[in-house]
Structure 1
Amino acid sequence: MTHNTPVSPRPLRHLSEVHRRVLTAAQLRSHGVSAAELSDQCRTGGPWQLLLPQVVLLHPGPPTSEERLHGALLYASRESAPGVPAQPAAGEPHRPVYAEAMITGLAALTLYGFSSTPPLLSLDRVDVLVPRLRRLRSSGYVRVLRTSGLPTPRAVTGLPVAPVPRALADAVAGLTDADAVRRLLTEAVRGGHCEPAAVVRELTQAKLLTRPHVVDAVDSLLAEGRAVAEDRLYRMVTEHGLPDPVWNVDLRLPGGPHLGGLDAYWPDQAVAVELDTRAPRQDEDALWSEYARKREHLERLGITVVYITPRKLRESTEQQAAVVRTALMASGDRDPAAYVVVLPR
């Protein structure tokens, strides 16, 4: 038998190419390969090689990046889901179902297209996320990470991959270089992969905000996130034909107290827009109460306040523009607002 010979008695035609090159020992046994045959094929200089414990690469030479990822998932998947579907659908090759395992960390970010992460083949290890109670050890190039609540994976190149915020947290946990951490977090926001709040939430849950270099990177991340959101707000106003507001202002009562800062304000219509860029590491309930008090105070003065989150601004710009336009058009039906002093912020 050679690595080009189909393992019998059940052929592998229904599998995609990479899944014919990397199989578990259990899968090979189910296709008629005895333990003695497997040992002979994996001998030094033989046509097969042991990629990971119980995971076999069916050709000599180094594995490709795709084979390494597939092997890592086969190693980490639950044994009850061997990864080889019984029958193909409509003649199409099958991809295995990797039960309770997904790629995370730097490998995941590279799969998402991050430019600040190393190429897959240059990574010394591939991080795989599994449930906390799984009895599984790190081995070879695979590092096993555990979590009490496994997130819903995203399919990237047909592989289950942890969501970007979780993958970032797992990557950051292994980095001590402040610049590398900052580059990753900044690219996540600037590249539109996720919102800063989701990243901070994951870093908080991972207890990484006790590390000074991570805190510094998060401060840069929040500043980057606000800058991106402000730019999207500006483009929303111009691209959707809204009248020009005054930007980044503070409101005060004449001779009275400070009413708060706003990202955009239309004085003639007494309509304000504020970006909701709360950081989850703060007390969200207390901060939202502060937002609510500010809004109630302004609305008692006759000023309509529209809160927009960066996520809504990114995913439903047209809808948010319609909300602002409606508020501007409705201003003529309201009682005149109190006179306020508008100052640059």
Structure 2
Amino acid sequence: MTHNTPLSLRPLHHLAVGRRRLMTAAQLRAHGVSAAQTGEQCRPGGPWQQLLPNVVLLHQGPPTSEERLHAVLLYAARERTVAVNGGGNGGAAAGVPVGVTASVPVQPGPEETPPVPAYAEAMITGLAALTLHGFAAAPPLPSLDVIDVLVPRLRRLRTTGCARIVRTTALPTSVRVTGVPVAPVARALADAVAELADAGAVRRLLTEAVRGGHCEPASVVRELNRARLLSRPHVVDAVDSLVAEGRALAEQRLYRMVREHGLPEPVWNVDLRLPGGPGLGAVDAFWPEHSVALELDTRAHRQREDDALWAEYARKREHLERLGITVVHLTPRRLRDCPEHQATVVRTALMAAGDREPAAYVVALPR
């Protein structure tokens, strides 16, 4: 017996039941539908249509946005081989003919939870993923001609129809949104930006990513750098806006942390210098009575620039600490995720001031 041998004479309309009326050719074979029968059903004017290679839509008319998403995933997902041997009622309960071995893409089903993650080695990325993540600046799903799907680099797939294949050497951990595996925001942004030439659209997406709290600038820029997109002028301009937006949000969180957790009010955004001497560098907050300075690490540029900035941070910190000034270093992500803990770090530094040798006198000038 082969996969193409019909196993049932039941009418085929029973398959087109449920919210997503999609099946792969392998799944149809497992239900006893031969390749010839599938071809007949998908003929012009027939009740079915082939949406993508080996993916059949079990109704006529345009597919819904949900059906397009799942069709792309069915096309791109790695298939697993399952043996249906008729032991117990397992095969019959799932509607799979007894005694058939079929290659079936892993996908969610109403009857049972699959033993491996649904849609193995495939996830939605790019603009479609951003829409699913709730981005207002991303277009609605029905307006997208193609849907990007992320797969491992060595998968033998090609872009076709509404499925655009995006390859990666390291597949990230997907996020489930309405039952669909979706790439994390930073990765989806990079894949979307790779296809966009509109500077305004790129800027709006990057700004919303930070302003909407989806991710931090550093993670976005890291993905853009990995995708080698930081050589494009319109992307660089958008990144500058992104960094500025990220710093503004981090400063707002810092102000809120100080006030909500009862810390003494510092002087904000000052340049420190020795009286009549050279400048010591800028800090985001300074408590003169305690000789404690605070810096926000909002670096989000390319690696080479990061190295130079980090070296500057380190030199400034060493110089200030030699003068007896404690430097507290906070990141925007920690301020966002655990402000209470960061407030404790600052409070501990302020309380320890009385146990230290008096610091050198420095002048704090507004910047």
TM-score relative to the length of structure 1? 0.91
Aligned with 1:273 (options 264, 283, 294): 294
Is residue 130–residue 188 contact of structure 2 (8 Å, CA) maintained in 1? yes
Aligned with 1:226 (options 247, 258, 261): 247
Give the drift of 1:238.
Answer: 1.1
In the alignment, structure 1 segments of 5+ residues that lack a partner are none
Q: Which amino acid aligns with 1:53?
A: P
42-51 or 296-305, which moves further after superposition? 42-51
Separation (CA, whole Å) in 1 of partners of 2:132 and 2:109: 28
- State the partner residue of 2:89: none
- State the partner residue of 1:207: 228
Is residue 65–residue 142 contact of structure 2 (8 Å, CA) maintained in 1? yes
Q: Which amino acid aligns with 2:43?
A: R
- State the partner residue of 2:156: 135
- State the partner residue of 1:170: 191
The percentage of counterpart residues that share the same residue type is 72
- State the partner residue of 2:63: 63
Give the drift of 1:280.
Answer: 3.8
The structure whose Rg is larger is 2
329-338 or 210-219, which moves further after superposition? 329-338
Is residue 3–residue 47 contact of structure 1 (8 Å, CA) maintained in 2? no
- State the partner residue of 1:192: 213
Is residue 49–residue 57 contact of structure 1 (8 Å, CA) maintained in 2? yes
> CA deviation digits over 1:205-260, x for unaligned, max 9?
11111111111111111111111111111111111111111110000001111111
Is residue 275–residue 309 contact of structure 1 (8 Å, CA) maintained in 2? yes
- State the partner residue of 1:294: 316
Q: Which amino acid aligns with 2:347?
A: R
104-113 or 140-149, which moves further after superposition? 140-149
- State the partner residue of 1:332: 354
> CA deviation digits over 1:51-100, x for unaligned, max 9?
111101112221111111111011011133612579945xx799971111
Is residue 153–residue 161 contact of structure 1 (8 Å, CA) maintained in 2? yes
Separation (CA, whole Å) in 1 of partners of 2:110 and 2:210: 41
RMSD: 2.1
Give the secondary structure class of the aligned counterpart of 1:306.
strand
Cα 1:325–1:56, aligned 2, differ >3 Å: closer, same or farther?
A: same
Give the drift of 1:2.
Answer: 6.3
Separation (CA, whole Å) in 1 of partners of 2:48 and 2:37: 11
Is residue 3–residue 59 contact of structure 1 (8 Å, CA) maintained in 2? no
Aligned with 1:258 (options 279, 286, 297): 279
Separation (CA, whole Å) in 2 of partners of 1:192 and 1:164: 11
Give the secondary structure class of the aligned counterpart of 2:79.
coil
Q: Which amino acid aligns with 1:27?
A: Q
TM-score relative to the length of structure 2? 0.86
Which structure 1 residue ranges, 4+ long, deviate > 3 Å from structure 2? 1-4, 84-89, 92-96
Indicate yes or no: 2:105 matched with 1:82: yes
In the alignment, structure 2 segments of 5+ residues that lack a partner are 1-9, 81-103
Equivalent runs, 1:21-170 vs 2, <5 Å? 21-80=21-80, 82-84=105-107, 88-89=111-112, 97-170=118-191
Q: Which amino acid aligns with 1:242?
A: L
Separation (CA, whole Å) in 1 of partners of 2:127 and 2:109: 33
Separation (CA, whole Å) in 2 of partners of 1:143 and 1:291: 43
Give the secondary structure class of the aligned counterpart of 1:143.
strand
286-295 or 201-210, which moves further after superposition? 286-295
